[in-house]
Amino acid sequence: MESGSWRFNPQELPPVCDGTKIGTEGLIESEKPALIPGLPDDIAFSCLARVPRKYHPVLNCVSKRWRELICGEEWYSYRLKHNLEETWVYALCRDKFEQLCMYVLDPNQLKKGWKRIYGLPDCCLKRKGVGFEVLGKKVYLFGGCGWIEDASDDVYSYDATRSTWTRAGSLSTPRCFFAYEALDGKIYAIGGLGSNSSNPHSWDIYDSHTNCWSSHVDPNVIPDIEDSVVLDGKIYIRCGISAVSSHVYAVVYEPSSGIWQHADTDMACGWRGPAVVIDGVLYVLDQTSGVRLMMWRKEAREWMAIRRLSTHLIIPPCRLVWQLVRKNFCCWEGT
């Protein structure tokens, strides 16, 4: 090299050992550290994805990259694709001060009991008639009203991987005491009570990809809905049973056509209590004469009594509030 001149040669620089490298222009470029030193990232990713969900809070504390990985969509999609997902039970309750509170239960650790989730939005704590649904890795809390508060269009989501609450897209129609179900990656908010200007025959559909609700109207949807289920890829809703006649008004929604129509008469006539679907079978808690657990036999088009339940075990009126398909885990809530 001639005297009085200098030329940059990156090979003459000492190696950098802190996760960075020197570019050809002499600039320092960031380089992500390996997930697990000595392993390719794809293999490390596969290993970490198999760690049980109960240890994920610990993994979050290892490094920023691990935390970003566990909270990302790729992590959730991978576990879902390879049947590694674990279903936990979420319950919305009221405490002794009549404020909303949320709990979570790991069915594989029943001895540890329910764990309370803190941070519910303050504006929702006193509301009644709220919607509560799970979509993907998020729990949604929406709608509701209070003694001096009209029906709300507020929507909040709880990210189970980040343990944080954020505001989501508002309902198209303010609602309270309405039916809600999740189907095909969307949330449905149906009927219920709303503002004076809202249509009583409407329902809203939430798309998590766009974070928006779309509003729809059908005369077969009425506001007085007592129960709802998802069965065979369709949404069924049951309205209040008339005290004068024994007729049960139930309608079914077909997503492919977007139309509500009257449900099968034989099925509707036996739907006289809270219902739940387990492994594709519809069960109803019939409280018209004692307490009986009924099962709808679709092939025979008839209801079959499974057994009577002791009134000491269940105090009517009550309702089925959750089911976990893989373990047939059910919760009961007295009213």
- 10-residue stretch averages of pLDDT, the chain, 335 residues long: 45 46 46 88 95 94 94 94 91 92 91 92 95 94 92 96 95 94 96 79 95 94 90 92 68 94 91 88 85 90 88 58 44 48
Please check whether residue 244 lies inside any domain of the structure. no
Structural domain count of the chain: 2
Residue 145 belongs to domain with CATH number: 2.120.10.80
Exposed/middle/buried for 120, CB within 10 Å: 0-12, 13-18, 19+?
Answer: middle
Distance CA 270, CA 171 (A): 33
Q: Cis before residue 317, ω within 30 degrees of 0?
A: yes
Give residue 49's domain range.
10-81
pLDDT at 3: 44
- 37 plus 61 within the same structural domain: yes
- 120 plus 190 within the same structural domain: yes
Please check whether residue 93 lies inside any domain of the structure. yes
Global model pTM greater than 0.75: yes
- 95 plus 158 within the same structural domain: yes
100: closest CA among 125, 133, 123, 130? 125
Residue 63 belongs to domain with CATH number: 1.20.1280
- 95 plus 157 within the same structural domain: yes
Please check whether residue 176 lies inside any domain of the structure. yes
- 66 plus 171 within the same structural domain: no
Please check whether residue 147 lies inside any domain of the structure. yes
pLDDT at 18: 44
